[in-house]
């Protein structure tokens, strides 16, 4: 840092860009998949590391790329450490179902599953902290303060109460989680902050619920009509006469239509809420005096999320690299930064622990960008 000239130390209104190309990303992901299959899943820790290294190296801020310094060995060690905790809990839960009296088994299982839920919260925080501590820009490490267990305690009661509020508490849970993760992040010794409140996100949740019902009700009417027609055919059949051959088809078609409409409605409502949460997140992040923003509207972001999901679903996963490539381009084009920071005032941060996101990995959680 000391070798930089004066203007290079001032970071003012920098642009974010993703400069990766689809061909190399496809080759990397296909190679990762084949090596993971050949090694019976063991290579997945190195596959994830190689993918992060590629994406970080092709994402630039102010024309300079990020770097991911994590290793597959760290992820493997973290996973093995987590198994020491997760496996006994799972085994006790299974044994309780088999050995305990009928009245006690559900209670013991509930307690153990609640413990797994708490561990999931702890693991998600630890995974995000690990990814930040293994990310650098201009040689300066990112980081995150705070304790995973303190995060778990702070978030567990919020998630426990959420179902009793008919999930209307979700925006405040999201804001609390962001405040305790991004709000405790650092770039070197310069701190991030998160200033968003759940009330800002709440109207978008109501809109997402409205979008869900708007998509669901016409589909339910169609599916109900098919099922009603099927039973009407059944009731009109004379005794001893088999019902029309279309009966079975109508019942199956009605049930499939009902399932498809329900899934579609969840996808529409979920995409709206996820898009609003993404925009809400970026618009309330600060890094010292620098403010973040997001250029894409909630509607455009929701349509993008739906289209990307359909690309993966309809191609049976073959277009996953293309969907990831589009996602990186979309996010980079949307992120905005305004303000300036003096990099001469930023010192190197601590390296942190040398093991990866074990609990999150062992529990199958999506606990970070990649």
**pLDDT for position 240:** 52
pLDDT higher than 70, residue 370: no
Distance CA 72, CA 74 (A): 5
pLDDT higher than 60, residue 235: no
Mean pLDDT of 297-317: 95
Ranking 4-13, 142-151, 299-308, 330-339 by mean pLDDT, the lowest is 4-13
Give residue 311's region: left, alpha or beta (phi > 0; psi -120 to 50). alpha
**pLDDT for position 173:** 96
Tell me the pLDDT of the chain averaged across its residues.
85
pLDDT higher than 50, residue 96: yes
Q: pLDDT confidence of 349, banded at 50, 70, 90? A: confident
Side by side, the strands of the sheet bearing 190-194 are 16-18, 59-61, 64-68, 135-137, 140-144, 185-187, 190-194, 285-287, 290-294, 335-338
Ranking 72-76, 177-181, 197-201, 217-221 by mean pLDDT, the lowest is 217-221
Where do the H-state alpha helices sit in 39-137? Answer: 44-57, 72-99, 104-133
Distance CA 291, CA 279 (A): 13
pLDDT higher than 90, residue 219: no
Question: What's the pTM?
Answer: 0.85
Distance CA 310, CA 258 (A): 19
Closest to 36 (Cα-Cα) out of 20, 47, 25: 47
pLDDT higher than 70, residue 5: no
Q: 91: Cβ–Cβ under 8 A, 6 or more apart, which residues?
A: none
> What is the per-residue pLDDT across 146-178, written as a single tens digit (0 to 9) for each?
888 999 999 999 999 999 998 899 999 999 999
Question: Mapping DSSP to helix (H, G, I), strand (E, B) and coil, where does residue 89 land?
Answer: helix
Q: Which residue has the higher pLDDT, 256 or 79?
A: 79
pLDDT higher than 50, residue 2: no
Q: pLDDT confidence of 3, banded at 50, 70, 90? A: very low
Q: Compute the C-alpha angle 313/356/51, nearest 5°.
A: 40
Most confidently predicted of 238-242, 265-269, 318-322: 318-322
Distance CA 125, CA 133 (A): 12
Mean pLDDT of 96-123: 77
């Amino acid at each position: 840092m000391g070798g930089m000239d004066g203007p290079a130390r001032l970071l003012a209104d920098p642009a974010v860009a993703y400069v990766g190309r689809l061909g190399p990303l496809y080759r990397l992901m296909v190679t990762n998949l084949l090596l993971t299959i050949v090694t019976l899943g063991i290579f997945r820790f190195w596959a994830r590391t190689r993918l992060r290294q590629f994406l970080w190296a092709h994402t630039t801020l102010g024309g300079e790329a990020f770097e991911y310094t994590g290793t597959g060995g760290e992820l493997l060690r973290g996973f093995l450490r987590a198994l020491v905790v997760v496996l006994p809990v799972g085994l006790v839960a299974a044994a309780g179902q088999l050995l305990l009296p009928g009245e006690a088994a559900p209670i013991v299982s509930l307690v153990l599953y609640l413990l797994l839920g708490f561990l999931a919260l702890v693991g998600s925080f630890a995974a995000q902290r690990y990814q930040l501590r293994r990310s650098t820009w201009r040689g300066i490490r990112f980081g995150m303060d705070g304790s995973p267990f303190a995060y778990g305690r702070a978030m567990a009661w919020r998630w426990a109460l959420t179902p009793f509020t008919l999930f209307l508490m979700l925006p405040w849970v999201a804001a609390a989680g962001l405040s305790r993760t991004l709000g405790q992040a650092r770039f070197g010794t310069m701190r991030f902050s998160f200033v968003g409140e759940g009330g800002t996100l709440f109207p978008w949740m109501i809109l997402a619920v409205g979008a869900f019902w708007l998509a669901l009700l016409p589909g339910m009417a169609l599916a109900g009509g098919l099922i009603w027609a099927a039973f009407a055919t059944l009731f009109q059949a004379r005794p001893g006469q088999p019902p029309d051959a279309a009966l079975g088809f109508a019942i199956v078609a009605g049930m499939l239509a009902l399932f498809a409409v329900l899934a579609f409605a969840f996808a529409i409502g979920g995409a709206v809420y996820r898009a609003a949460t993404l925009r809400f997140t970026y618009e309330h992040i600060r890094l010292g005096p620098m403010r973040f923003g997001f250029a894409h509207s909630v509607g455009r972001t929701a349509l993008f999320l739906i289209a990307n999901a359909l690309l993966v679903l309809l191609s049976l996963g073959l277009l996953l690299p293309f969907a990831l490539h589009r996602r990186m381009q979309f996010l980079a084009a949307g992120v905005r930064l305004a303000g300036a920071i003096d990099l001469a005032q930023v010192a190197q941060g601590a390296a942190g622990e040398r093991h990866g996101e074990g609990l999150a990995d062992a529990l199958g959680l999506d606990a970070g960008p990649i």
